[in-house]
């Protein structure tokens, strides 16, 4: 896994951890709209990280030599 993908995955995992703890708090106090907004913001950041990870993986695949992408049929 290239370093760039690793960085985005680490950031995404950190955000997920923070988001999950906020959600636990929100579940106890569903009327707290500020928590809901913070969770929404983190969800958007997590989605952005996921997008970057997918983009990096696609660019890795397109950079691979064509012979490595072919599979052998049985």
As for how many domains the chain has, the answer is 1
Residue 72 inside a domain? The answer is: no
Domain containing residue 18:
3-60
12, 43 contact by CB (below 8 A)? no
Residue 68 inside a domain? The answer is: no
15: Cα separation from own chain's centroid? 9
How many C-beta atoms surround the C-beta of residue 14 within 10 A? 13
Residue 19 inside a domain? The answer is: yes
User: Tens-digit pLDDT profile for the chain (74 aa)?
Assistant: 567 788 999 999 999 999 999 999 999 999 999 999 999 999 999 999 999 999 988 888 887 765 555 566 65
The closest of 42, 49, 46 to 5, measured between CA atoms, is: 49
Q: Give the 3-state secondary structure percentages of the chain, helix then strand then coil, rounded to 5.
A: 80, 0, 20
């Amino acid at each position: 896994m290239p370093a760039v993908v690793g960085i985005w995955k680490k950031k995404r995992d950190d955000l997920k951890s923070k988001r999950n703890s906020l959600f636990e708090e929100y579940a106890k106090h569903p009327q707290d709209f500020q928590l809901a907004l913070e969770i929404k913001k983190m969800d958007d950041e997590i989605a952005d990280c996921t997008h970057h990870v997918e983009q990096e993986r696609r660019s890795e695949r397109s950079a691979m030599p064509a012979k490595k992408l072919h599979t052998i049929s049985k």
